[in-house]
């Protein structure tokens, strides 16, 4: 691990890549990591939360809050599912790009322009055309806007090898200020807050207004899983991601694959934006996506880019988020606490992947005489 | 005319925030690590400094000691963040983007939790004459500049000198360009990566501190640091990975960022409110253009470090 | 040179050096002495452990057993840095240079010297060393602007700058042109005369005889002998190297009814850097025949195959493919309905009774039915121009052109995918639906694993985890699986052990007997002479000769491999 120099001690251990690891061992490591992370969260919480310092016995409540936050009431549970669905949707959208080793850090912006586009359609056409047509137009606008936001970096990357991580990252802020611009134009009062639209709301399915969104995302998960693993496009994505040389060797058009995949990735982000805009908020603000575009990167990566696994990882993150929000409420602390807790747990999970992928062998050999 | 000069100086002073942030990020990227946690690091730097000031603000220490300790607190916190990042990405070889984003999530959150508990009247009643030395007494716009500002300029220039003119800089660039090669000639790759990341974080953290207690000196200032952090990452591209270039770039960015509120003061120019966001968008658009143009021109010297974003494991080669 | 009169001074001694990689014994108790002021050639076949041995001196590996003594004192070398401290430097086959840096920056990289860092002084010192040994190098030139030979010069200077007295060069001539080799050898001689010890790893006998003072021969990890170059011969060295005189014993059948399959005429290719890498290449590859391509590395072999396979666009010339189709039924296996229609208009088909087929006025479904009944036959062989067609278009024309590239895991296969998914690379587009069909590839994968005796834990193991020989079998197996008409293989046995190599030879021979036109790019002349029917020799992007492998001698081919260069040199001198 560290460089050996003359006179320096022998390293204590040797690292090598693992060839295979039984699934239960891998999961054991990850669960252990989360467990350790939760312990550290407890310590940090103790340092930060005065009410906990005064009454240390409430530490049980602290951990119970994670259950309570997600499953406490029916309303909370539905909200939990809805939050998972939105985060999952963005993560799913990013995944085709990641599979292609195209580091799309622009999920935030691609989703945000999706929200903006559908609200724009709603703003200008709402009430003048039939509601179903309006919804369809809004959807089309969202998909198009997201796809466009993904297309620009893809073309530059395919054509000139422009660094896509930085490009997509910058596009996020262009999107943010674009939203700010339209808010200035639309909201004459200058308050920058767009009141909820009266039209263009996704229909409610059954008894719960979140149900439709959840079902859409669930269907998308399955579709994307199939798309990535069982279709020719998915196969091409994997080959191009793994080796452009191989792709060219068998006659794949790598540029076409990059552009097509980013169109899809962007459009799916646009869809997430549509679900947020037409399904939930009926308004747009610079905070409509609220950083979920970034969290989604982690969701996708933690699940090793497997759409089905992402249900779990997005569930975990939202569980932490809602739990921490519950803690903020119960213990009367700043609303930023969820970020701290999610951050800590993420550090531990990220770190644990190392122990899944590498084997550490401690060197027990007696030190060779170094003279 | 005077308005323009005032505005230029204000932009320069504002830009120092980015100089800290981008110089720190450049050092990290030169070691091959894209630290998307810089916004979080800057937040933590600000929080650390304010926390320290909050603790010693009323202790009656000599003012320059208070300033110094504040800086120390800031560096301490941000280096700690850098350590977390480098432990995960260098030693545990975790994905840099994911780790960086997690660090930003963590840093921003923790800063907010901390800052809300602090008493602005204590940490902001810093000895202004020390921050703004030697211009504190002046009544014109130069009054906005001070030691922390000059420190930023100095750090950018020194970093530029170290990178291009010293052995350490040569080794560091080699680590970022071709870690396996650097390893083969006996450069301690791991150590360079750790040091670059931690020192870079320390410098970036100062940016947050500077923004809160010096440039803005307001209670609400901490809320906008995250956005400035992202802008700092953009500035790295704009500066083509050259620290001295960040001085010019930061002025331009500072100008664009704040000119929306300034332009309205100029007689003869009418700007609608709607223009404001578009002006603020400009730095990012310009950065994207720089990114595209450099990749089209494909001049090797202007590209990101070749191993940026990839972790290094000797036995992979 | 010590020339026997002067007492030779020992520079380095190796005693009982042993290294194992898992079950494989790479070096078995090797004893080796190196003297000051000599060039010692370390000779051995691929995989005999010579590079491993040298890597242990250079600090890349650490020996399991044994000692290394420098100037009579035992030393421990754990890292390249330790090696440098004992004044040992190694020039690796794959250069370790930072592309973005200048030559001088690369040379001083990693040196911890006291005092200020001054590139001007470094440049001056580099120039001084260059002059001393007769290098030509601009220290301020960036690596990415350099030729391979210049990069090698930088590597050598890097080692000299650090004051190395023992220099190890791993196959330094593999990438050089003959003139560059001559220049390198003269530099090496100057360094020897300066008292340095030079170890040069190679398997080329002529170079050994030309440049070395002594030769150490390794065979299967053991040090079998050290001889004085002046007292040995090529025959003796060969015998020591391979054990006994080995008749390669590759069975070679006589070509049956060779028919022109691939005709290349006046092919020219210009690289993206503007260099002409192929000049007026013309040859014919016949079905039922193995055409060998010989030449020193970098003579344009790779570019030639790439161009035929459609990976590079030629500047001019023709690549004509004769597709033997006469009296064979048309299928939709590779031909699309559109293409079948086009061919129908061009009177390419007849039916079983010999009447010309016309699709005039027929509906798609009718054409489809008719073709699928197998009653539509080709009238003539197809003749197609492959120029400016990419690999996909070539496939869509129904041309079975297989290509086993040099870079197996980087180009021929996807390292992280399993055997089944790698089998699909060529065929995944089959079928009109968007979905993949893994059933057929899986059967194919099972088949080649069984037939080629590929040892793999399972079909779902990523090919990256297979051994080199098995990786190559997967690749060749896939390329053969789709019944090629032309099979091109670039260095298909490089890095493989004897058994795997023979397995590959047999596969190629089998293809030849099936009537396939096999093109085999090789580096070992013995193999080329024993395996091929004809051998095309390339040099500097040109064809310098095509010889009958049954009649030709190694000397003859060796001459052709360097022929045009000599002529050019002569022309330049006049």
Per-residue pLDDT of chain A (371 residues; tens, 9 = 90+): 334 444 444 556 777 777 677 888 888 999 999 999 999 999 988 888 888 888 888 888 888 988 998 898 999 999 999 999 999 999 999 999 999 999 999 999 999 999 999 999 999 998 899 999 999 999 999 999 999 999 999 999 999 988 888 899 999 999 999 999 999 899 888 787 899 999 888 888 878 889 999 999 999 999 999 999 999 999 999 999 988 899 999 888 999 999 999 999 999 999 999 999 999 999 999 999 988 999 999 999 989 899 999 999 999 999 999 998 898 888 888 778 888 999 999 999 999 988 888 887 776 544 443 33
Q: Is B316's CB within 8 Å of A17's CB? A: yes
Q: Report the alpha-carbon distance of residue C464 to residue C475 in Å, rounded.
A: 12
Structure tokens at C186: 């003269």
Spatial contact of C10 and C35, defined as CB atoms under 8 Å apart: yes
- Cβ contacts of B274 within 8 Å, gap of 6 or more: A181, A184, A185
Spatial contact of C290 and C509, defined as CB atoms under 8 Å apart: yes
Q: What is the pLDDT of residue A9?
A: 46
3-state secondary structure of C36: coil
Which has the closest alpha carbon to C534: C542, C523, C545? C545
Task: Calculate the average pLDDT of chain B.
Answer: 87
Q: Is B174's CB within 8 Å of C109's CB? A: yes
Q: Where are the alpha helices (DSSP H) in chain B?
A: 2-30, 38-56, 63-86, 96-117, 120-123, 128-131, 147-165, 167-177, 179-184, 189-209, 225-238, 243-263, 275-297
Count, in order, helices (H) and strands (E) of chain C: 18, 22
Mean pLDDT confidence for B38-52: 95
Interface confidence (ipTM) of the complex = 0.90
Q: Please report the residues numbered 99 through 158 in chain A whose beta carbons come closer than 8 angstroms to any beta carbon of chain B.
A: 103, 105, 156
In a domain, A127, yes or no: yes
Which has the closest alpha carbon to C407: C342, C504, C475, C459? C475
Q: For residue range A306-338, what is the model confidence (pLDDT) as tens digits? A: 999 999 999 999 999 999 889 888 888 877 888
Spatial contact of C178 and C210, defined as CB atoms under 8 Å apart: no
Q: Report the alpha-carbon distance of residue B99 to residue B97 in Å, rounded.
A: 6
For CA atoms C522, C525, C529, C534, the dihedral sign is positive
3-state DSSP helix/strand/coil % of chain C, to nearest 5: 35, 25, 40
Which of C59, C81, C110 should we substitute to test contact with B (largest number of B Cβ atoms within 10 Å)? C110
Characterize B121-138 residue by residue with b for buried, 16 or more Cβ atoms within 10 angstroms of its Cβ, and e for exposed.
Answer: eebbebbbebbbbebeee
Q: What is the pLDDT of residue A158?
A: 93
Q: For residue range B293-310, what is the model confidence (pLDDT) as tens digits? A: 988 887 878 888 888 888
Q: Over 50: is that where the pLDDT of B289 sits?
A: yes
Q: Is A371's CB within 8 Å of C82's CB? A: no
Q: Is A252's CB within 8 Å of C311's CB? A: no
Which has the closest alpha carbon to A358: A14, A23, A11? A14
Question: How far A175 CA lies from chain C's nearest CA (Å)?
Answer: 34
Q: What is the pLDDT of residue C284?
A: 92
- Cβ contacts of C557 within 8 Å, gap of 6 or more: C294, C525, C528, C529, C535, C537, C547
Q: What is the pLDDT of residue B163?
A: 93
Q: What is the pLDDT of residue B214?
A: 86
Domain ranges of chain C: 10-242, 259-324+386-400+483-574, 328-380, 415-482
Q: Is B234's CB within 8 Å of A170's CB? A: yes
Strand C10-21 and strand C65-70: the pairing is antiparallel
In a domain, A276, yes or no: yes
In a domain, A186, yes or no: yes
Q: Report the alpha-carbon distance of residue C214 to residue B123 in Å, rounded.
A: 78
Question: Count of residues for chain A?
Answer: 371
Cβ count within 10 A of residue C466 = 21
Reported as type and span, the H/E element at residue C406 is none
CA-nearest residue to B112 within chain A is: A336
In a domain, A346, yes or no: no
- Class for the domain spanning C10-242: alpha beta
- Residue B40 — φ and ψ, nearest 5°? -65, -40
Q: Is B88's CB within 8 Å of A160's CB? A: no
Strand C73-75 and strand C65-70: the pairing is antiparallel
Looking at the DSSP bridge assignments, the partners of residue C263 are C284, C320
- Cα dihedral value A27, A29, A30, A33, nearest 10: 160
Structure tokens at C443: 């059967």
DSSP string, C70-112: ETTEEE---SHHHHHHTTEEEE-SS----TTSBHHHHHHTT--
Which of A166, A175, A187, A344 should we substitute to test contact with B (largest number of B Cβ atoms within 10 Å)? A166
For CA atoms A242, A245, A250, A256, the dihedral sign is positive
Confidence band, pLDDT 50/70/90 cuts, at residue B225: very high
Nearest to C415 among A3, A235, A242 (CB): A242
Task: Strands of C256-369 (E only): list them.
Answer: 260-270, 276-286, 289-294, 316-323, 349-350
Question: How far A246 CA lies from chain C's nearest CA (Å)?
Answer: 4
Q: Sheet containing C260-270: which strands, arranged edge to edge?
A: C276-286, C260-270, C316-323, C382-385
Which has the closest alpha carbon to A89: A335, A299, A345? A299
C326 DSSP assignment: B
Residue A261 or residue B122, greater confidence: A261
Which of A21, A235, A368, A369 should we substitute to test contact with C (largest number of C Cβ atoms within 10 Å)? A235
Structural domain for A155, as ranges: 74-303
If one counts the domains in chain A, the total is: 1
Q: What is the pLDDT of residue B317?
A: 41
Confidence band, pLDDT 50/70/90 cuts, at residue B316: low
Which has the closest alpha carbon to C279: C289, C271, C270, C268? C268
Q: What is the pLDDT of residue A117?
A: 96
Q: For residue range A37-83, what is the model confidence (pLDDT) as tens digits? A: 999 999 988 888 888 888 888 888 888 988 998 898 999 999 999 99
Residues of chain C with pLDDT under 70: 1-7, 22-24, 45-47, 114-115, 178, 203, 242-248, 297, 333-334, 497-498, 555, 562-574
A243 contacts in chain C (CB < 8 Å):
410-411, 414-415
Q: Over 90: is that where the pLDDT of B174 sits?
A: yes
Q: Residue B134, preceding bond cis, omega within 30 degrees?
A: yes
* Axis-axis angle for helices B63-86, B96-117 (nearest 10): 150
CA C472 to chain centre: 13
What's the CATH number of domain B2-316, 1.10.3470, 1.20.120, 2.160.20, 1.10.10? 1.10.3470
Looking at the DSSP bridge assignments, the partners of residue C267 are C281
Domains C10-242 and C259-324+386-400+483-574 share a fold: yes
- Class for the domain spanning C259-324+386-400+483-574: alpha beta
Count, in order, helices (H) and strands (E) of chain A: 14, 2
Q: Report the alpha-carbon distance of residue C500 to residue C520 in Å, rounded.
A: 16
Q: Report the alpha-carbon distance of residue C11 to residue C128 in Å, rounded.
A: 25
Nearest to A350 among B99, B186, B291 (CB): B99
């Amino acid at each position: 691990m560290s460089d050996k120099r003359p006179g320096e001690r022998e390293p204590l251990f040797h690292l090598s890549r693992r060839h295979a690891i039984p699934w239960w061992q891998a999961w054991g490591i990850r669960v252990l990591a989360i467990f350790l992370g939760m312990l550290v969260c407890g310590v940090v919480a103790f340092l930060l939360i005065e009410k906990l310092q005064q009454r240390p016995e409430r530490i049980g409540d602290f951990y119970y809050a994670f259950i309570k936050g997600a499953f406490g009431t029916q309303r909370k549970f539905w909200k939990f599912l809805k939050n998972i669905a939105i985060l999952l949707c963005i993560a799913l959208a990013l995944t085709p790009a990641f599979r292609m080793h195209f580091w799309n850090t622009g999920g935030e912006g691609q989703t945000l322009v999706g929200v903006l586009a559908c609200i724009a359609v709603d703003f200008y056409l709402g009430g003048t055309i039939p509601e179903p047509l309006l919804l369809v137009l809004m959807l089309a606008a969202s998909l198009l806007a997201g796809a466009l936001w993904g297309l620009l970096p893809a073309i530059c990357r395919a054509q000139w090898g422009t660094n896509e991580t930085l490009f997509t990252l910058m596009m996020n802020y262009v999107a943010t200020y674009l939203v700010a611009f339209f808010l200035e134009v639309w909201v004459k009062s200058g308050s920058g807050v767009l009141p909820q639209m009266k039209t263009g709301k996704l229909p409610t399915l059954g008894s719960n207004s979140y149900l439709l969104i959840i079902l859409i995302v669930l269907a998308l998960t399955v579709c994307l899983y199939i798309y990535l693993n069982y279709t020719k496009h998915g196969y091409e994505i994997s080959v191009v991601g793994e080796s452009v040389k191989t792709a060219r060797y068998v006659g794949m058009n790598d540029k076409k694959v990059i552009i097509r995949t980013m169109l899809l990735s962007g459009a799916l982000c646009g869809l997430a934006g549509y679900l947020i805009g037409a399904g939930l908020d009926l308004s747009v603000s610079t905070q409509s996506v609220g950083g979920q575009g970034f969290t989604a990167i982690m969701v996708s990566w933690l699940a090793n880019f497997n759409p089905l696994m992402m249900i779990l990882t997005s569930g975990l993150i939202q569980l932490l988020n809602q739990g921490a929000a519950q803690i903020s409420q119960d213990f009367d602390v700043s609303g930023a606490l969820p970020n701290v807790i999610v951050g800590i747990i993420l550090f531990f999970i990220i770190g644990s992947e190392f122990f899944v992928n590498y084997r550490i062998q401690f060197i027990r050999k007696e030190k060779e005489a170094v003279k | 005319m005077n308005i323009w000069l005032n505005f230029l100086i204000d932009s320069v002073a504002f830009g120092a925030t980015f100089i800290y942030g981008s110089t720190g990020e450049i050092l990290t990227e030169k070691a091959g690590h894209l630290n998307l946690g810089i916004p979080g690091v800057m937040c933590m730097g600000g929080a650390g400094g304010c926390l320290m000031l909050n603790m010693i603000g009323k202790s009656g220490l000599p003012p320059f000691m208070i300033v110094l300790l504040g800086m120390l607190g800031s560096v301490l916190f941000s280096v700690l963040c850098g350590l977390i990042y480098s432990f995960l990405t260098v030693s545990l070889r975790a994905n840099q983007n994911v780790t960086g984003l997690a660090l930003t999530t963590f840093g921003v959150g923790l800063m907010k939790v901390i800052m809300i508990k602090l008493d602005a009247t204590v940490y902001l009643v810093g000895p202004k004459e020390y921050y703004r030395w030697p211009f504190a007494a002046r009544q014109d716009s130069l009054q906005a500049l001070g030691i922390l500002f000059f420190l930023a300029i100095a750090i950018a220039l020194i970093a530029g000198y170290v990178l291009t003119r010293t052995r350490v800089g040569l080794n560091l660039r080699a680590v970022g360009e071709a870690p396996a090669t650097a390893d083969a000639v006996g450069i301690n790759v791991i150590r360079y990566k750790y040091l670059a990341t931690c020192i870079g974080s320390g410098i970036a953290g100062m940016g947050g501190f500077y923004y809160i207690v010096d440039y803005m000196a307001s209670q609400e200032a901490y809320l906008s640091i995250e956005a400035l952090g992202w802008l700092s990452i953009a500035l790295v591209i704009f500066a083509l990975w050259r620290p001295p270039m960040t001085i010019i770039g930061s002025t331009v960015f500072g100008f664009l960022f704040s000119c929306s509120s300034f332009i309205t003061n100029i007689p003869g120019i009418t700007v609608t409110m709607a223009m404001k966001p578009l002006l603020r968008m400009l730095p990012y658009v310009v950065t994207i253009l720089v990114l595209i143009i450099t990749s089209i021109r494909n001049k090797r010297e202007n590209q990101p470090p070749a191993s940026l974003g990839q972790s290094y494991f000797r036995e992979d080669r | 040179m010590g020339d026997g009169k002067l007492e030779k001074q020992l520079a380095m001694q190796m005693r009982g050096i042993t290294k194992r990689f898992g079950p494989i014994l790479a070096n078995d108790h090797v004893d080796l002495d190196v003297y000051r002021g000599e060039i010692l050639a370390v000779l051995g076949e691929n995989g005999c452990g010579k590079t491993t041995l040298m890597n242990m001196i250079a600090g890349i590996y650490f020996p399991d057993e044994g000692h290394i003594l420098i100037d009579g004192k035992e030393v421990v070398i754990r890292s390249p840095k330790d090696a440098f401290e004992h004044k040992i430097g190694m020039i690796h086959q794959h250069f370790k240079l930072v592309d973005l840096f200048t030559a001088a920056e690369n040379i001083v990289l990693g040196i911890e010297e006291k005092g200020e860092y001054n590139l001007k002084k470094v440049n001056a010192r580099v120039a001084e060393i260059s002059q001393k040994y007769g290098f030509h190098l601009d220290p301020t030139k960036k690596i990415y602007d350099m030729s391979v030979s210049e990069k090698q010069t930088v590597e050598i200077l890097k080692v000299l700058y650090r004051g190395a007295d023992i220099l190890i060069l791993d196959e330094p001539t593999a990438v050089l042109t003959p003139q560059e080799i001559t220049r390198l050898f003269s530099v090496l001689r100057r360094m020897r005369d300066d008292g340095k010890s030079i170890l040069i790893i190679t398997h080329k006998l002529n170079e050994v005889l030309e440049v070395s003072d002594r030769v150490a021969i390794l065979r299967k990890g053991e040090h079998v002998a050290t001889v004085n170059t002046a007292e040995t011969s090529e025959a003796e060295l060969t015998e020591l190297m391979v054990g006994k005189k080995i008749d390669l014993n590759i069975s070679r059948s006589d070509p049956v009814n060779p028919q022109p399959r691939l005709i290349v005429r006046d092919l020219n290719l210009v690289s993206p850097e503007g260099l002409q890498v192929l000049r007026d290449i013309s040859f014919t590859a016949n079905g039922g025949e193995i055409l060998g391509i010989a030449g020193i590395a970098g003579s344009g072999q790779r570019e030639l195959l790439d161009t035929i396979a459609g990976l590079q666009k030629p500047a001019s010339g023709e690549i004509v493919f004769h597709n033997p189709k006469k009296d064979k039924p048309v299928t939709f296996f590779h031909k699309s309905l559109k293409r079948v229609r086009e061919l129908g208009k061009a009177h390419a088909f007849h039916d079983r009774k010999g009447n010309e087929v016309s699709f005039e006025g027929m509906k798609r479904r009718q054409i489809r039915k008719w073709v699928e009944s197998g009653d539509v036959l080709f009238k003539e062989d197809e003749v197609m121009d492959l120029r400016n067609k990419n690999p996909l278009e070539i496939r869509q024309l129904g041309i079975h052109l297989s290509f086993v590239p040099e870079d197996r895991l980087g180009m021929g296969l996807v390292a992280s995918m399993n055997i089944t998914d790698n089998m699909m690379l060529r065929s995944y587009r089959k079928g009109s639906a968007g979905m993949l069909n893994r059933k057929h590839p899986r059967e194919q994968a099972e088949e080649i694993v069984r037939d080629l005796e590929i040892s793999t834990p399972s079909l779902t193991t990523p090919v990256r985890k297979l051994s080199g020989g098995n990786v190559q079998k997967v690749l060749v197996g896939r390329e053969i699986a789709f019944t090629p008409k032309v099979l091109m293989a670039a260095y298909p046995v490089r890095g493989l052990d004897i058994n795997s190599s023979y397995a590959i030879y047999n596969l190629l021979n089998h293809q030849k007997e099936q009537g396939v036109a096999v093109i085999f790019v090789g580096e070992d002349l013995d193999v080329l002479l024993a395996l091929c029917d004809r051998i095309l020799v390339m040099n500097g992007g040109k064809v310098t000769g095509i010889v009958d492998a049954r009649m030709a001698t190694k000397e003859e081919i060796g001459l052709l491999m360097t022929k045009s260069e000599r002529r050019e040199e002569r022309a330049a001198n006049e």
